[in-house]
Structure formats: structure tokens, C-alpha cells
Amino acid sequence: MKNDNSQFYLRQFVHLMAKGEEPRTAFNIMVNEVPAEQRDRWQQAHTIYEATQSLERAFEKLNIKGSPITEQLRRGKELGLNELEVLQHYTAANSSEMQIAQIVKSRILRSTGYAALLSVIALLVLGVFSLYLVPAYNNIIMDGQMYSSSFQHRMDVLQFKSWWSLLLYLPPVLIIALFVLANLTTVESYTQSKLLTKLPIMRGIMMHLSRVRFIYNLSAFSQRLPDNQNERLKALNSPFFSQSEQLTFDHIFYAQEKEQLLALFKLQTFAEESPTLINSLETQAIESTHRKTAMLAITLHLLVIAIVFQVVLSIYLPIFQMGSGF
């Protein structure tokens, strides 16, 4: 939470800059408004800015690891862009990204919530069954020698006497953990979240987020691109536009899309077309989120059905076993 709180105040500094405040004035405001535990760092950052006139150097003093704002300043500097302009345009791209991230979070919570609830119930039933009913079944069935090896194996699984117990108990635990993780992860963290890159079903969402960032940043700085086509391509592949070291221009757009983007620069109609591009890519990102979270929900529900089937089978199998013995 401490890191998220620090990034919150860093964003407010960006908002002040976007409103036209001078860096010196913005730093003074933040020093007076941030919580006491952050005040010294902001004061030191202010001092560094006064000495170096570098926002990148000043933000490094805030010690906010992985901040996308400081990364953008560094990348913009590599392209020769002014720090103030980078900050002023950062909020526009970030606001759209945050809206999509909010949709991603709500959809993931919706997809995992029902499965997590059923998993909790399944674990409770399994716990009660293994603690209270299994010993009773063992006394009745085994005393009468009315059991088979498969039945004994199932009882061992229920009582954690077999490695196969992991296949029964681990899936619901993982589903619950996924729901808790998704719930505790802040909306801002979803834009840089490993959750979206580690889950195979969700990987495409990060690419769509990068596409949205790319078009917003390109719309803001398209006039700063070199006229030479080769140099322009090199600049477009800078991580600055997509805000990602891996998902650059060549990786996030298809060949036809890249051809169309480059044609817009040749025709000098990018400014007129950019609103349409932004709307289109935002729509694609939202639709991709709906599709992938729907797939996640189906996968989790199938897993829960398998768990419930095992629970029901574990409860009724001893009854069938006793019935076959009479």
C-alpha cells in the first residue's frame, strides 16, 4: 500500500503540471500536501530539481520503484522530448488505460468470484467430511471388511495420506487465491500486472493496453517524429510510445496496421484519423477483455464442477460400498 500511495501523489504532481503549474510551484504544493512520512523525500526531490532542473533526477529521489512516469521521462529523453511535455501528455494516455484496467479488474473479479465461493464451500464440505464422517465410515466399513483397494485409496486422499490429495484440495485453494489476489491488486497495478502476463488466457490484454498507450502517445507527439522513413520507424519502435520494453511497434501491430499507420504520415492525415484509431483500439481492448475473462470464467467453472463431482462422489461412495456389502 505504501508504494501505491506514493504513486498516487506522484500522479497528482503530474496533474498539477498538466494544469500548467511550474515544476517549482508544483513541488512546493506537494511538499505541503503529502503525508508526513513522504514529506522529506519530496523536499529532497524539490532540492534536486532546483539544482539540476531535471524532473527525472528529482523523481528518482522519491524511490518509487517501477513507476511508469519516471520510465516515460527516461524514454522521452532518449527521443529528445521535453520533460514537461511528456508529463503533460502522460495523463491523457493514462486515464484511458485506467478505465480499461478498471474493466479488466471488474471482469476478473466477476469471473473468479462465483468459482471462489463454490471453492470455499467445497473445502468446508471436504474438511467436515474428512474430519468427522471418514472415521465413522472407516469404523463401519472396515470393521466389516466391506472395502476395496480403490475405496481405501479414496479415503487416503480425503485424509491427506496420499499425494493425490493435492489434486483434490489444491485447485480450490488456487481459485480462492486468484480471487483474493485480483481483489487486492489496485487498478493501477493492472496496467503493469504480472497477473495478465502469467495467465495464458489473459496475455493478449497487455498487448491491447500497449496498443492504446501507443496511439495516445503517438497522437501527442506525432509532429516530433523524424521525416525520414527509416528514422521514423526507429522512433516508433521506441518503448516510449507503448510504455513497454517488449511490446513495441513491431510486436503490437499487424503488418496491415503498420502499413496504414505509416501511410497516414505520408498523407499527413494522422491528426484527422487519430480519434478514430483511438476509439477503435479502445473498443478492441474492451472486447478482448470480455472474451478472455469469459474464457477464464468457463475454465474455472469447469474446474469447480470437477471438484464438486469429487466431493459428491466421496460422500456417496461409502454408502454404495456399504450397500454392496449387504
Q: For the chain (length 326 residues), average pLDDT per consecutive 10? A: 62 81 89 88 90 83 66 84 78 73 86 88 80 66 55 66 76 88 79 64 79 88 86 89 86 91 89 90 88 86 82 68 53
Alpha-carbon span 94 to 230, nearest angstrom: 29
Give residue-wise pLDDT tens across range 215-238: 988 988 888 888 888 888 899 998
pLDDT score at 322: 56
Task: Quote the cell numbers at residue 79.
Answer: 527521443
Task: Quote the cell numbers at residue 295.
Answer: 474464457
pLDDT score at 170: 83
Burial 131-164 (b: 16+ CB within 10 A, else e): eeebeebeeebeeeebbeeebeebbebbeeeeee
Is 104 within 8 Å of 289 (Cβ atoms)? yes
Query: HSE on the CB side for 213, CA within 13 Å?
Result: 29
Task: Quote the cell numbers at residue 39.
Answer: 514529506
The dihedral built from the CA positions of residue 71, 77, 83 and 89, taken in this order, carries a sign that is negative
Q: How many CB atoms lie within 10 A of CB 281?
A: 24
Domain ranges of the chain: 2-65, 68-326
pLDDT score at 323: 56
Which of 172, 176, 248 is closest to 207 using CA atoms?
248
SS3 238: coil
pLDDT score at 29: 92
Instruction: Indicate left, alpha or beta for 66 from its phi (over 0: left) and psi (-120 to 50: alpha).
Output: left
Burial 65-90 (b: 16+ CB within 10 A, else e): eebbbbbbbebbbebebebeebbbbb
Q: Read off φ and ψ for residue 183, nearest 5 degrees.
A: -75, -40
Alpha-carbon span 266 to 229, nearest angstrom: 9
pLDDT score at 326: 45
pLDDT score at 144: 47
pLDDT score at 151: 62
Given the C-alpha cell 477464464, which residue does it identify? 296
SS3 227: coil
pTM above 0.95, yes or no: no
pLDDT score at 300: 86
Distance between the two ends of the chain, CA-based, in angstroms? 62
